[in-house]
Amino acid sequence: MKAILLYIILLFPLLSFSQRSEIQRIKQDTVLQLFLIHLDTTAFEAAESKPLSGKLLTDSLINIASSYIGDRYKRGGTTEKGFDCSGFTLVVFKHFGIKLPHTSAGQSLLGFEVPKKQIQKGDLLFFRSRSRRSKRIGHVGIVISEKGEPVRFIHSSTSSGVRIDNLEAEYYKKRFIKASRVLPSR
């Protein structure tokens, strides 16, 4: 942009009056556009620097999580090429500056436990591994429903990748261990 303005300034004396007027108008328009672009980016940067909180944070988190629906499961995965369950939650929360470990058991140690009746959007749900006798946490998902609604969650399942399920489905109901809140309070 500076090169164009320099070029215009150097050629300015060689041009006719009508050409000079046209260049002057273009130059003024360009300066105005650059100023407006600067204002736009300044406002955007100011908005970006303010941390999200409350309902806006949880809604944004769920929107990011939902954008991955249909992505495949990949053991150890943390990219759109494939996610495991904890890799999925790790990536979603990372968008908001919240660092989670890359294991469901490790994630279960963060935040604070929430009673089942108090589960709300953005909470993490933890499930035992596939073995019926195991008490070890082996799966994690993110709640997408509001408090008081039937609990639905988004997660990366081994069978069909990122999808939404209901906590009251027999398979998950039997395996549910606990819910934790890692997001700041609303």
CA distance 157 to 164: 9
pLDDT digits (tens, 9 = 90+) for 100-134: 999 999 999 999 999 999 999 999 999 998 776 77
pLDDT confidence of residue 48: 52
Using pLDDT thresholds of 50, 70 and 90, give the confidence band for residue 19.
low
CA distance 131 to 103: 17
The CA distances from residue 46 to 13, 49, 52, 68, 72, in Å, are 42, 5, 12, 28, 36
DSSP string, 94-160: HTTT----SSHHHHTTSSEEE-GGG--TT-EEEEE-SSTT--SEEEEEEE-SPTTSPPEEEEEETTT
Q: Is 69 helix (H, G, I), strand (E, B) or coil?
A: coil
pLDDT confidence of residue 50: 54
Tokens of 76: 């150890």
The CA distances from residue 158 to 75, 99, 155, in Å, are 8, 23, 10
Lowest mean pLDDT among 29-43, 47-61, 153-167: 29-43
Catalytic center residues: 85, 139, 155
Using pLDDT thresholds of 50, 70 and 90, give the confidence band for residue 150.
very high
